[in-house]
């Protein structure tokens, strides 16, 4: 089965049709998605600023991380779920949209960046946990994280301006009205 066929199938599932045809479901999903993204980014900023020594520097890193990361993961799960549900409604258009592709690439890059933190600064956290900031590797990861997530937000916002759903032909009377106002 080709990717195009899978995308078309996704768009025709009962769930996709219900979301797409509902007056309220898609906007509700979009609102929840934006709130979830704000929580993801907001909590990531707290962690990144702690690593950079700009905020919460009086608290040990492990305490900040323990308090914050559970909210980050919960918000990320909510955002991923709502994003997937919105994707279903117009899968072909989203899949082929440059900004959607960039957003997915940046999300993948954020995972690689998180892995880089786990393999470097996180392994030595006991040595710098109470220090004002993380070692250079932790600072680089924090700065990269901030830039990546700003890119995710920008790309996500651009999707709304560049992805349109295919429309059926307008009824004849609507076409005539459009002609009058040109």
pLDDT in tens, 100-111: 999 999 999 999
Handedness of CA 80, 114, 94, 6 (dihedral sign): negative
Query: Average pLDDT by consecutive 10-residue portion of the chain (182 residues)?
Result: 94 96 95 97 97 95 96 98 97 96 98 96 94 96 98 95 62 52 58
159: enclosing H helix or E strand? helix 136-162
pLDDT at residue 178, as a whole number: 58
Contact 165, 96 (CB under 8 A): no
pTM: 0.85
- Do 54 and 134 contact (CB within 8 A), yes or no? no
CB 178 within 8 A of CB 170: yes
* pLDDT of the residue at 126: 94
Please report the pLDDT score of residue 1 as a whole number. 86
Task: Please check whether residue 128 is in contact with residue 37, taking contact to mean a CB–CB distance below 8 angstroms.
Answer: no
Domain boundaries, the chain: 3-164
Task: Provide the terminal-to-terminal Cα distance of the chain, rounded to the nearest Å.
Answer: 44
Residue 175 has what pLDDT? Answer: 53
CA–CA distances in Å: residue 153 to residues 36, 40, 77, 133 = 12, 11, 16, 26
Residues 88 and 15 sit within 8 Å (Cβ to Cβ): yes
Return the pLDDT at 170. Answer: 44
Over the Cα atoms of the chain, what is R_g?
A: 21
């Amino acid at each position: 089965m080709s990717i195009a066929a899978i995308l078309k199938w996704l768009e025709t599932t009962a769930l996709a049709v219900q979301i797409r045809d509902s007056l309220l479901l898609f906007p509700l999903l979009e609102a929840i998605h934006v709130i979830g993204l704000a929580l993801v980014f907001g909590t990531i900023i707290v962690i990144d600023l702690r690593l950079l020594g700009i905020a919460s520097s009086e608290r040990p890193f492990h305490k900040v991380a323990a308090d914050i990361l559970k909210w980050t993961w919960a918000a990320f799960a909510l955002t991923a779920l709502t994003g997937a549900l919105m994707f279903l409604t117009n899968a072909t258009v989203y899949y082929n949209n440059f900004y959607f592709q960039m957003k997915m690439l940046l999300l993948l890059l954020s995972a690689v960046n998180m892995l880089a933190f786990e393999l470097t600064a996180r392994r030595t956290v006991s040595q710098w946990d109470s220090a004002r900031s993380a070692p250079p590797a932790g600072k680089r990861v924090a700065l990269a994280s901030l830039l990546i997530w700003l890119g995710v937000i920008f790309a996500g916002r651009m999707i709304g301006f560049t992805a349109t759903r295919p429309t059926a032909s307008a009824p004849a009377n609507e076409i005539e009205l459009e002609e009058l106002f040109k």
